[in-house]
Amino acid sequence: MSFRHILYDLWVEDPSILERTKPLEQIMLEAARCSGATILHSYFHQFDPHGVSGVVLIAQSHLSIHTWSEEKYAAIDVFTYQGMNPELAISYIREKLRPTRERITDLSRGGTLL
């Protein structure tokens, strides 16, 4: 079985969107929903004075986000094997966070050992 691990780095104009837990948790949960993932649990942590780390555990693996608002930067992972469309998750996140710059790395992981 092979897995996909999408690394999504993004930079935003207004860093306030990266500073608080609740809006980011809602964005990540909705990204999972619209991608067809089965949500099992989510946990998000608010740093002082700002910044967020969070994970949405899904039956297909996970979505995670870590933010550094002082850098206007967020690192997002979408790790999955099947049963969802990770591009739809990325598209939803892009729509909500409106990055001024982004980088996507799409990795294939796992597979059969030789």
Note whether 5 and 107 are within 8 A (CB). Answer: yes
Residue 102 in this model has a pLDDT that exceeds 70: yes
Task: Identify the pLDDT of residue 114.
Answer: 52
Query: Using one digit for the tens of pLDDT, what is the confidence trace for 64-81?
Result: 999 999 999 999 999 998
- Using 50, 70 and 90 to split pLDDT, how confident is the model at 113? low
Angle between the N-to-C axes of helices 86-97 and 21-34, in degrees from 0 to 180, rounded to the nearest 10: 150
Domain positions in the chain = 2-110
Q: In what order do the strands lie in the sheet with 101-110?
A: 39-46, 52-58, 61-68, 73-80, 2-11, 101-110
Query: Using one digit for the tens of pLDDT, what is the confidence trace for 18-58?
Result: 999 999 999 999 999 999 999 999 999 999 988 999 999 99
The reply to whether the predicted model has a pTM over 0.85 is yes
- Domain 2-110 adopts which CATH fold? S-adenosylmethionine decarboxylase (3.60.90)
